[in-house]
């Protein structure tokens, strides 16, 4: 068995026996032990009581975190003409049509968010098997298939986070950086949990939010008290 480093051992000892914490307690603990040489991302994972194999139990949505994510988002936009110009003015990093499709098909995906105008969807649709598994496929339900390209690009750049339940009913996302103030991280955590709560699908039965955990990129995780964190 590999010997644990001093930092890892110290963190595990600090987390030992601590479960079902308040949002503020969990944020303070995770932040205090995010001691890597880089600015770690604070990550949240929610285990939901849904079966994503059923369409009426799929959970997906989008939330604008009040204090941003701390991450620089690279945004790609499928658009032509005036809408392509609008995307450029709004700060999109990559703009194209068939040329962008060919680049992606060639294996180059150099962006974190993909936006498309409705008329581009016949082209974008060919990329479903590539973009879908990466949760990058434009979708009108989360505002990434839209004629308001400017607003979509600015939202993506401003700290908007998309979420989608994966197999097993798990939703996870980055909700800020360890360098953020505790109060700002806590505010982001609560905003994300609230958005997932509001996205509860019609087919969900029994307990919806079963478990919530918080961690940093390189640190251990700690569970939150679901009732107080979700406001139930």
Cα separation, 60 vs 130, in Å, equals 19
The per-residue pLDDT for 230 is 81
Per-residue b or e along 165-202, where b marks 16 or more CB atoms closer than 10 Å to that residue's CB: beeebbbbbbbbbbebeeebbbbbbbbbbebbbebebe
Q: Dump pLDDT digits (tens) for 106-156.
A: 999 999 999 999 999 999 999 999 999 998 999 998 999 999 999 999 999
Mean pLDDT along residues 199-217: 94
Q: Dump pLDDT digits (tens) for 52-70.
A: 999 999 999 999 999 999 9
The per-residue pLDDT for 61 is 92
Q: Dump pLDDT digits (tens) for 175-186.
A: 999 999 999 999
Q: Dump pLDDT digits (tens) for 20-43.
A: 999 999 999 999 999 889 999 999
């Amino acid at each position: 068995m590999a010997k644990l480093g001093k930092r890892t051992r110290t963190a595990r000892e600090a987390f030992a026996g601590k479960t079902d914490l308040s949002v503020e307690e969990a944020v303070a603990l995770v932040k205090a032990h995010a001691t890597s040489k880089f600015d770690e991302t604070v990550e949240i994972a929610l285990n939901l009581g849904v079966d994503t194999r059923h369409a009426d139990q799929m959970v997906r949505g989008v939330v604008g975190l009040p204090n941003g994510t701390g991450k620089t988002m690279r945004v790609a936009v499928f658009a032509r003409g005036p809408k392509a110009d609008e995307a450029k003015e709004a700060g999109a990093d990559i703009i194209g049509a068939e040329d962008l499709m060919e680049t992606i098909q060639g294996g180059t995906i150099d962006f974190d968010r993909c936006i498309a105008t409705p008329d581009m969807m016949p082209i974008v649709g060919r990329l479903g098997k590539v973009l879908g598994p990466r949760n990058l496929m434009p979708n009108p339900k989360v505002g990434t298939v839209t004629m308001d390209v400017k607003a979509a690009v600015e939202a993506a750049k401003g700290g908007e986070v998309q979420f989608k339940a994966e197999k097993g009913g798990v939703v996870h996302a980055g909700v800020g950086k360890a360098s953020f103030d505790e109060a700002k991280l806590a505010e982001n955590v609560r905003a994300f949990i609230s958005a997932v709560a509001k996205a509860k699908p019609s087919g969900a039965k029994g307990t919806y939010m079963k478990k919530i955990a918080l961690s940093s990129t390189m640190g251990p995780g700690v569970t939150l008290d679901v009732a107080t964190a979700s406001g139930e």
